Structure 1
Amino acid sequence: MSRHKLANFLVQAWYRQHLIWLTLLLLPIAYLFRLVVLVRKYCYQYHLFTSTCLPVPVVIVGNLTVGGTGKTPFVIWLVNYLQSNHIKVGVISRGYGGNNNQAPVFINNSSHAIEVGEEPILIYQQTNCPVVVCKNRVAAANYLLAKTSCEIIISDDGLQHYALARDLEIALIDGTKRYGNGQCLPAGPLREPLSRLTTVDYIIVTEGNSLQETVMQLLPQGLILLINPSQQVDKFMLQDKVIHAVAGIGHPERFFHMLRTLKLRFFEHSFPDHYHYTKESLNFGEDAVIVMTEKDAIKCKEFATKDFYYLPVKAELPERFSGNLLTRVRQLLSKEH
């Protein structure tokens, strides 16, 4: 069994209603992992480990589970929303999927996903906001503050990165998968016990359907031609084509479901999250039309053809949430750090 197939089998086991033999075997390790997580958290809480406080407010956007929860679209929405209210925002990211994240570096128009990861590039492109990538988020934040005049820092991921003190925590939850079997890694999808959610400031449920929850909807925009992003394509132009849908994200089924709502028929191709594509890996035949996520498109620009398209999404959140969040942020900005 290949590594990718084994990983898929394990993820499927996490989201079964009952524990199976594999997750039962992994339970002792999961209990040990949970213990280490709790001890580490208490070490920061009681100042045995140092958390760095910054002179500006820090907002952490993260998730409790492994896999896609719509974090990047939310960060893009949050940055644009704060900027529209005349707040100077900076973003820091670890740069998952990149191999050059040891020293802080700003994202620019020449940045490559193989070096800094595709998510920071996407955030930069969609917000025109200063974005710094570094494995050490404290170093990233200090570098950002030294080079810009930002008033608030958004940390893309980092809910478990307690070395950086935070003023606000926002956790995202997948509205379909939720918490799986409720177990910690590696027997389940949880990075921390479920009780951690009682300590965050906001919980956002992606594609949820409960009136009691703050729900984020991801709305598909028009199909874009990859070699010419200024050209939007009508979906009806592709209805008679042989379409291959490509998703290398944490929750590929969400993307495939979105394409089905657009009445497109296609062959599904799931790749690991942060997968580095080659021309050969997307060779599905001479007449194949490829439709992918915007995140995947960033890694395919160099070899894209006239048959490569991507589908951007836009986050939409309730007004009551955005208004409440803006009030909290302004309160933080009015306080001295």
Structure 2
Amino acid sequence: MAHAESLLLVTGAAGKVGQAFIARLLADPAFTHFRVRALCHKRTLPPKPRLEVVKGAMQERADVNRAMEDVTHVLHLATSKETPDEVMDVAVKGMFWLLEAARTSASLKQFVLVGGDAAIGHFFYPRSAPVTEEVAHSAYPGCYALSKVLEEVMLEQYQIQYGLNGCCLRAPWIMEKDDFKYQLSFGDDVFGGPRWCELVGDADALRYRETGAVPVMLDAEGRPVKRNFVHVDDLVSALLLALDNPRAHQQLMHVCMDEPVDYGELGDYLARTRGLPLVPIRTPYHSTWLDNRKARLLLEWRPRYDLARMVEAAWSFERSPDDPRVVWYPG
């Protein structure tokens, strides 16, 4: 049975998730009826068959309306990190313009949002049980976490107010290439937080860099912290499974590893397989376990990356000269 042609708008298309998703969708025989329109602002994408790039800013209604013309599906990835001067324009105003265009569209079939565990506090708050999708929003301090709460709430309300066929896949920290290795760096090249060099001081950080030492994050009681991650390949798999899936209708689902990374187990694995020395570091952070059973049930999705595979993929990655390590956002 032939599929009707679909036009998918991807915002934030030049980011790690956007690029990986577009490449996978365009190469998948199941989605040959999809064309992709990428809304790009500061960065762009190289030409590909069935890919159209439009330039514009999320906060400009005319740009969003132009990008939304004849669109059947939206994948909203555009975000702004800890940048107070622009976060509300991008995350709230931009989301509002997208939702308004979706609400009045004669062609739109589905709106998919990638949310973040910043909306439920990441590892900032103690949890006595696994975190399910029913846990209340609880942003940690900062404008980025607040923006992730507001995005999810806006989508939920448009689903209630107007019956929008929306879906939110809430992801924790997204890893690709050698990201997982660099989140353990004692240098200024650390990816995301904590910034280990600031926790131990300059002299110790220099010594740890020279020995290749690995930080083992502990909570205030000295127990290894459990922290949630997802590999970009697993997230993209879940997104493809959610497209046009009736079981994704108006659902919020956690998309993450089956088990969070235990920093104690991570340190032991790296010491055993690579002989790296370990540096236990007490922090104010708390272990959190995101429950992914809903996505496993409704999407029949299974993450392929566990701790060992995440480590091996990051440590074996060899960066080509034309692919410098550029971190557009810290996490």
What is the TM-score normalised by the length of structure 1? 0.33
Greater fraction of residues in strand: 1
Q: Which has the higher contact order (CA 8 A, sep 6+)?
A: 1
